[in-house]
């Protein structure tokens, strides 16, 4: 049974790139267009890992991470932040919200899959 990855990003191009990289690596990929949509998707899914952007409309990545961590069912799911942001303060804020790791865009598919394998085990 393959592991499920939820990707949350407002960029269609980025969602397509994530879909390709992760499905090629054998993962089942579920996608959301922003934090609000991500929380809606989580109502019916139990992903093994979540990959989220920070800068999104409606609900940003920080709010999304807090929402995930506030839900008993998803409290232990690893969350990787995938963003163009490299600011230390934002990284710390994401960690405090409950993020597991931080990956800078543009991502290297091999490194992304390796990071997911590390946290999903």
Give the tens place of pLDDT for each residue, 16-71. Answer: 999 999 999 999 999 999 999 999 999 999 999 999 999 999 999 999 999 999 99
Q: Does domain 4-120 have CATH number 3.50.50.60?
A: no
> Rounded to whole angstroms, how far apart are CA atoms 34 and 18?
15
Q: Taking phi first (over 0 means left), then psi (-120 to 50 degrees means alpha), and beta for anything else, what does residue 2 get?
A: beta
DSSP state of 72: G
Question: Would you state the pLDDT for residue 121?
Answer: 74
Structural domain boundaries in the chain: 4-120
> Rounded to whole angstroms, how far apart are CA atoms 65 and 97?
6
Instruction: Evaluate if residue 108 carries a pLDDT over 90.
Output: yes
Question: Would you state the pLDDT for residue 86?
Answer: 86
CB atoms within 10 A of CB 108: 12
9 CB contacts (<8 Å, ≥6 apart)? 15, 18, 31, 33, 51, 52, 53, 56, 82
């Amino acid at each position: 049974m393959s592991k499920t990855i939820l990707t949350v990003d407002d960029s269609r191009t980025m969602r397509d790139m994530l879909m390709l990289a992760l499905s090629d690596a054998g993962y089942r990929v579920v996608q959301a267009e922003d934090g609000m949509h991500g929380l809606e998707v989580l109502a019916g899914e139990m992903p093994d890992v979540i990959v989220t952007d920070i800068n999104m409309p409606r609900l940003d990545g920080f709010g999304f991470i807090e929402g995930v961590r506030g839900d008993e069912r998803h409290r232990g799911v690893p969350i990787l932040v995938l963003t163009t942001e490299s600011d230390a303060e934002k990284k710390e804020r994401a960690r405090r919200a409950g993020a597991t790791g931080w990956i800078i865009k543009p991502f290297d598919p091999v490194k992304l899959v390796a990071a997911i394998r590390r946290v999903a085990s």
